[in-house]
Structure 1
Amino acid sequence: MEQTATFWIAAGAATFFVGMSKGGIPMVAMLGVPILSIFIAPGMAAGLLLPMYILSDVYAIWLFRGQYSARNVAILVPAGLIGVLIAFLVVSRVPVEATKLIVALIGLTYLADALRKRLAQDFRPRDADIARGLFWGAVSGFTSYISHAGGPPYQAYTLPQKLPKMTFAGTSAIVFACINWAKMPTYVLAGQLTWDSLKLISVLAPVVLFGAWAGYRATRWLPERMFFALINTALGLLCLKLLWEVGVAWL
């Protein structure tokens, strides 16, 4: 891994965006791996960023302490771990493009349903039911393991509940902290996470922590309606980005 000045700038930017996403602004998380993929293989980029995700997860849990949905955590964490295990067992048989396509379709289906309800003036929140939670939690763990794309399934389940913005972000911090910790051993076995990449933590740790703090402050500052409007917009852009990547790979 050639660590030029340009690489360090890109790594710093990617790390900052990872931190911001954990601070409650998930729309910037999509920038991390693409930025680093200019310099290294996408798989290695995902492995390099995993420790940054874990470090910022821990900080985000502290930032959002006491602001989470206990019921959602109880449902989504076990389901997410099951999804990670399934992905580890079948990852060699599932094309990455197929996973990206599934994630994109999940996100776009949710957005279409949300638009339909808005036009019909149906603003009733959904319950955190176990059946849907187990399904979407497992899908989040599965897609997070394969391509760091667990956000859309998680949002498809939690956004219809209309949780307060801080509760939404705090729940996300706990759920994905558990999922990311579970991914660590398997990334090591797959060679995506090496000793050299771990050594970069000492340099980039302040950047990811500052990003998490900045994301947390922005989350507190943004009005509730604007916050979720940005979440939905970012979800749509991420889905279109994934569809573009699938189209380029298959064509």
Structure 2
Amino acid sequence: MHDLLTDPWFYAAAIPAVMLVGLAKGGLGGAMALMGVPLMSLVMSPVQAAAILLPILVLMDAVSLWTWRGERDTVTLKLMMPGAMAGLALGWLTAAMVSASMVRLIVGIVAIAFFARWIWQKIASGERAAPHNVVKAAVWSLITGFTSFVAHAGGPPYQVYALPLKQPPALYVGTSVIFFAVLNTVKLVPYFMLGQFDPATLAASAVLAPVAPVAILAGAWIVRRMRPALFYPFMYILALVVGLKLTWDGIFQLWG
């Protein structure tokens, strides 16, 4: 790790990665956050990248909770939290069997299908908001917890359920902030038990941590000034772009 911290390529990849994740935590969408681990994986293993990012994610969550305080939909949280916890447990149990490349491919396909579904709904039924659904919430929250544990990639599965609710942007962001803050805090325990947090990894996290608050506050500033008519298309397009990137990376790494 000492060589990593003195390698300029580490900072060239890791600083933009933390900036993108921070902008997402500030409200610009979980899809943007998906770029964190893949970008850092250009200069290190995906497992190491995920371990370095997790303490930074927890720090970001603290800033985001303060930034979006008072904005939450308790129904979404009650419906999705149990399944997400089960997904985290599943990710922990299968950590040795599931590669980051497999998760990238799965999440990428989900994100692309999500974008295609949005386009179809706009053509077929306009912009009607979807109601809450217990079964859909359970399924997508389980997938969210699993992909969040393995690669910090829970954004698109969460969005598949939450975005069609058509909540006001601040309510949507505030709810997602609480949801992922709980997930990331819980993940600290199994990551520690799996031996992911050695002193060198934590040192790398500490070096990158100052970038986080600046990026979060910038993201929040943008979202608070973005009209819903722009916010939701922007989020869906981000999901498509990241989905294509993750699908390509997953296919190339598995079969390239």
TM-score by length of 1: 0.92
Q: Within the alignment, does 1:16 sit opposite 2:16 as a pair?
A: no
Q: Are the equivalent residues in 2 in contact too, given 1:18–1:52 (CA < 8 A)?
A: no
Report the CA distance between 1:233 and its aligned residue.
0.7
Structure 1 position 45, deviation (Å): 0.8
Instruction: Note if 1:193 corresponds to 2:193.
Output: no
| CA displacement at 1:64 relative to structure 2 | 0.7
Identity of aligned residues (%): 32
Report the more deviating stretch, 214-223 or 187-196.
Answer: 187-196
Instruction: Please report how far the alpha carbon of residue 169 of structure 1 lies from its aligned counterpart in structure 2 after TM superposition.
Output: 0.8
Q: How far off is 1:201 after superposition? A: 4.3
| Partners of 2:36 and 2:54 in 1: CA distance | 11
Deviations 1:13-38 (A, max 9, x none): 32222211110012432332233223
Q: Give me the whole-angstrom Cα distance separating, in 1, the residues matched to 2:71 and 2:220.
A: 12
Whole-angstrom distance in 2 between the partners of 1:168 and 1:188 = 31
Partner of residue 155 from structure 2, selected from 140, 143, 151: 151
Quick check: 1:46–1:192 contact (8 Å CA) kept in 2? Answer: no
1:102 and 2:106 correspond? yes
Trace 1:1-251 onto structure 2 (pairs within 5 A). Answer: 1=1, 2=3, 3-4=5-6, 6=8, 7-26=10-29, 27-249=31-253, 250-251=255-256
- How far 1:202 sits from its partner (Å)? 4.1
The CA deviation at 1:172 is 1.0
CA distance in structure 1 between the partners assigned to 2:231 and 2:185 by the alignment: 27
Contact 1:100 1:242 in 2 (8 A): yes
Which stretch of the first structure deviates more once superposed, 22-31 or 160-169?
22-31
Instruction: Mark the runs of 5 or more structure 1 residues left unpaired by the alignment.
Output: none
TM-aligned CA deviation for residue 156 of structure 1: 0.4
Give, as a single letter, the amino acid of the residue that structure 2 aligns with 1:233.
I
Aligned counterparts of 1:84 and 1:176: Cα–Cα separation in 2 = 12
Letter of the 1:30 counterpart: L
Structure 1: distance between partners of 2:189 and 2:169: 32
1:108 and 1:34 map into 2 onto residues whose CA distance is 17
Residues 140-174 of structure 1 show CA distances to partners (whole Å, capped at 9, x for unaligned) of 00011111111111000011111111111111111
Q: CA deviation at 1:9?
A: 4.5
Mean Cα deviation higher: 16-25 or 208-217: 16-25
